[in-house]
Amino acid sequence: MPISSKQIRAARGLLNLSQKELAVKAGLSINSLNNIEREVGSPRVDSMHAIMAALIHEGIEFLDRDGVRFGGEQLEIEKLEGSNILARLYEDLLKAYPSGNGEILVMGKDNSRFRHLENIELLLAYKKFEDVAIKNNIKERALFLENDTNFLGRRNHYRWVPKELFATVPMTIYGNNVAIILWGPPVRMIIIRNPGIAETFRYHFEAVWSLAKPVPDDVYKFHYETKTKKILDQAHKANG
């Protein structure tokens, strides 16, 4: 069923999406979407299909007579495996906040298993993500096992969790998504896309965060500069 410009505007209103956000989700330029909504010229069929697919993905159902409504509850489960799952996660984190101003919550992260400081490519993938996140005002908060001092970020957004409260399955909560890593073998990541599930885990994170111990700034700074920053400086010198 073809959709109309009125339905696109109405769907954006329901989702509280800006033109920029919908354009990013549909893979179009803002000018193209703006022209379609204002009914300027004849839109390309593939552009209309892209907009429709993006809105359906966000939970919109299109009705007759230019109607729109929220469809059934969104539930998508994506399974990934392989050596590059963390790099793919970093990409997905940024896609969840196309206009920035979001927050990413991490719990159960055992750095002795992630090994960012032993794998320069993995560390650089995180730093690339972090650069974009800081630029776009996307915040991070992370719950670490007590006395873990492998701080990757250049912002002190860490709290220590005692062993009895530490979740052994690493989990990242962002937007309407929850990414869970299963160590296997093989190592796998499951991404659950559902607003209710994401909100439930977000409440759980906040409860543990309130009990966790903030990492002192001087402790954070010492370990970040003597570990992560030192490795990055060596890598930059090696690459000229």
The model's pLDDT over 62-92, given as tens digits with 9 standing for 90+, comes to 887 888 887 776 778 999 998 789 889 999 9
DSSP 228: I
Q: In sequence order, what are the residues at sequence separation of 6 or more whose Cβ sits closer than 8 angstroms to the Cβ of residue 164?
A: none
For residue 5, give both structure tokens: 């410009």
Q: How large is the average pLDDT for residues 145-154?
A: 92
Q: Output the pLDDT for position 107.
A: 94
Average the pLDDT over each of 33-42, 115-124, 177-186 and give the range with the smallest value.
115-124
From the options 3.40.50.2300, 1.10.260.40, 3.40.630.30, 3.40.50.300, give the CATH code of 5-70. Answer: 1.10.260.40
Paired residues of 62 in beta bridges: 68
Q: Output the pLDDT for position 217.
A: 96
Mean pLDDT, all residues of the chain: 89
Under CATH, to which class is 76-238 assigned? alpha beta
Q: Output the pLDDT for position 240.
A: 64
Query: Does the pLDDT of residue 149 top 90, yes or no?
Result: yes
The answer to whether the peptide bond before residue 186 is cis (omega within 30 degrees of 0) is: yes
Which of 128, 131, 143, 136 shows the shortest CA–CA distance to 201?
143
Q: Give residue 90's identity as a one-letter amino acid code.
A: Y
219: Cα separation from own chain's centroid = 28
| pTM attached to this predicted model | 0.72
232: Cα separation from own chain's centroid = 24
Q: In the chain, where does the domain assigned CATH 1.10.260.40 lie?
A: 5-70
Contact between 126 and 116 (Cβ < 8 Å) = yes
Q: How large is the average pLDDT for residues 182-204?
A: 89
Q: In the chain, where does the domain assigned CATH 3.30.870.10 lie?
A: 76-238
DSSP 215: P
Query: Does the pLDDT of residue 189 top 80, yes or no?
Result: yes
Q: How large is the average pLDDT for residues 53-60?
A: 87
d(CA 197, CA 103): 16
Q: How large is the average pLDDT for residues 104-113?
A: 85
d(CA 211, CA 145): 13
Q: Output the pLDDT for position 56.
A: 86
Q: Output the pLDDT for position 47.
A: 92
Summarised one tens digit per residue, pLDDT across range 118-134 is: 788 888 899 999 999 99
d(CA 163, CA 151): 18
d(CA 92, CA 100): 13
